[in-house]
Amino acid sequence: MKRAHNTRRLNIFSPEIFLPVFVAAFYLAGLVLVQFSLRALVVVTIGIAVYLAVTMLTGRFVDGRGSGMPSEQGFLPEGYFERLLLALLVVFLVDLALKGALPITIRVPLYLVLISGVFLLLGRVGSKLTGFHYLALGLVMILVYVVPAFARYGLYGVYLNRTGGLMPAFLVGMGTITTIYGLLKIASGLTKNRLFAMIGFITLIAGPLMAAIIGYRAYAIIYIMPLIFQYYLERKPAYGIKAGGKAAAVIIAIFLYTYFATSVARGAIYAMVPLDPGKAPERVVASMNAGHYTDKDMVVTNKEARQKFITRPLFTYRVFLDVLDRSFPWGTSHGKLILSLMPGITKGRATTISILKKPLSTSFFGLSFLEFGFAGVAFYAALLGFCLAVLSRLKDLKVYALVLTIIMLWLDTGPSVWWHWLPFVSAVVIFVAALSVDLIKPKIAGP
């Protein structure tokens, strides 16, 4: 009898199908509708080929090692993501106190020791928080980030929240991923009707509002899509071409609606308080200028902005072509941009400013090629293949649902936000921990 996790490979949301299909479709649209580029075709082909090879090799290794374990929904251990998440929350609270007192070179090794200690301690204690605990904790972190800007500058606080706010930006990132995980835990215990009601509330009200007050569409999309993926992974697996096509259509429709609705909601606030130096607080104007942002670019009711909104994916593809021209064949920044994403570094999300002069989205493979060219793309693809193969074999697929959402966001932005990497890091931790404590059992030989 075949194991269920092997059958899951026929699902459109399996790692062997989901990422290659969505990534290839994005770049194919650019190649056909914008500009054909042999370099782009070669880079994307190499990236997807490396990803598939590593995904299948990792899957075979894990499946082979675990074939003696009785489970129908995967067999890798649970709980490591929660422990890693809580350990990072402790570290970031400590960072609030030490950021101005110690240089980053001292804080980093200190935090690595602290993360390890908290991680191991949580494993020994064995305490588990409920979904409502994670939801409350995440919302508190987000409100601590958002409220001060509004309290001090009114609706102009939206601009400050977009560029960093009055509080450290990691609060909203960690708060977001903590809240999402709480929602996913809550959703597992809901009836189908209540789950749909929760998804509807977030899609129609909470999501657009979140995008408006923080200034990024991603903060709304990443609340909605994991719940959709979780539904198809846990309750209605999309096996076969027909079911997979229907599920893909639902995913794309909700994604596009959310993208549009959040843009309108965000633009409505910017339209209410234009970034006029004569009216807007000086600090707000300076903060937006420093990030190369303008309010006009983000108001969908503006004709020029509306055109940019519609053609944004095509524009991102053009940025990718520009990256290839500047960085061919072995990259340009050589690690500088990746380091700028690390927590505690003051450069923030300005991933591409030093190279492209603006914080432009570089598309799925753009950032890795900008850093190390073909080598960067190969390593990045291999890392993704390993992580998705591991996470798709967890007993609990909540983290995998979150990763699928991040993959969709990376079609435009690329891996340019550090907290997006947390679930991927957890895949490495889970795999190493499983091997070290022999939770992945060797295959039992026959008589």
The 3-state DSSP class for residue 27 equals helix
Rounded to an integer, what distance in angstroms lies between the CA atom of residue 87 and that of residue 65?
29
Helices (H) and strands (E) in the chain, counts: 20, 0
Please determine, for residue 411, whether its predicted confidence score (pLDDT) is greater than 70: yes
H/E element holding 269? helix 240-272
How high is the pLDDT of residue 39?
A: 93
Higher-pLDDT residue of 165, 9: 165
How high is the pLDDT of residue 374?
A: 94
How high is the pLDDT of residue 305?
A: 52
DSSP 136-197: HHHHHHHHHHHHHHHHHHGGGHHHHHHHT-SS-THHHHHHHHHHHHHHHHHHHTS-HHHHHH
Residues 62-76: tens digit of each pLDDT: 877 654 333 444 455
Q: Two tokens at 251?
A: 């995913």
Higher-pLDDT residue of 104, 330: 330
Closest CA to 136 of 166, 101, 93, 181: 181
How high is the pLDDT of residue 388?
A: 94
Rounded to an integer, what distance in angstroms lies between the CA atom of residue 217 and that of residue 200?
17
How high is the pLDDT of residue 363?
A: 86
**Residue 302 pLDDT grade (very low, low, confident, very high; cuts 50, 70, 90):** low
| Burial class for 387, CB neighbours closer than 10 Å (0-12, 13-18, 19+) | buried
Please determine, for residue 380, whether its predicted confidence score (pLDDT) is greater than 90: yes
How high is the pLDDT of residue 402?
A: 93
The 3-state DSSP class for residue 369 equals helix
Average pLDDT, the chain: 80
Please determine, for residue 47, whether its predicted confidence score (pLDDT) is greater than 80: yes
Q: Do residues 320 and 365 lie in contact, with contact meaning Cβ atoms separated by under 8 Å?
A: yes
Residues 275-293: tens digit of each pLDDT: 776 778 888 888 777 766 6
Number of neighbours of residue 250 by Cβ within 10 angstroms: 14
How high is the pLDDT of residue 358?
A: 60
**Residue 6 pLDDT grade (very low, low, confident, very high; cuts 50, 70, 90):** very low
Q: Two tokens at 337?
A: 């941009």
> What crossing angle do the helices spanning 192-201 and 170-188 adopt, rounded to 10°?
160
Give Rg (Cα) of the chain: 22
Higher-pLDDT residue of 69, 303: 303
Q: Do residues 66 and 431 lie in contact, with contact meaning Cβ atoms separated by under 8 Å?
A: no
**Residue 309 pLDDT grade (very low, low, confident, very high; cuts 50, 70, 90):** low
Q: Two tokens at 216?
A: 């990024």
Span 322-338, average pLDDT: 84
Q: Do residues 419 and 170 lie in contact, with contact meaning Cβ atoms separated by under 8 Å?
A: yes
Closest CA to 173 of 207, 222, 132, 129: 222
CA angle 268, 272, 360 (to 5 degrees): 60
Task: Say which DSSP state 76 is in.
Answer: B
The residue to which tokens 């753009």 are assigned:
366
Could you tell me how far CA 359 lies from the centroid of its own chain? 17
Please determine, for residue 312, whether its predicted confidence score (pLDDT) is greater than 80: no
Q: By mean pLDDT, which of 2-6, 258-262, 327-331 is the weakest? A: 2-6
How high is the pLDDT of residue 67?
A: 44
The residue to which tokens 């609340």 are assigned:
223
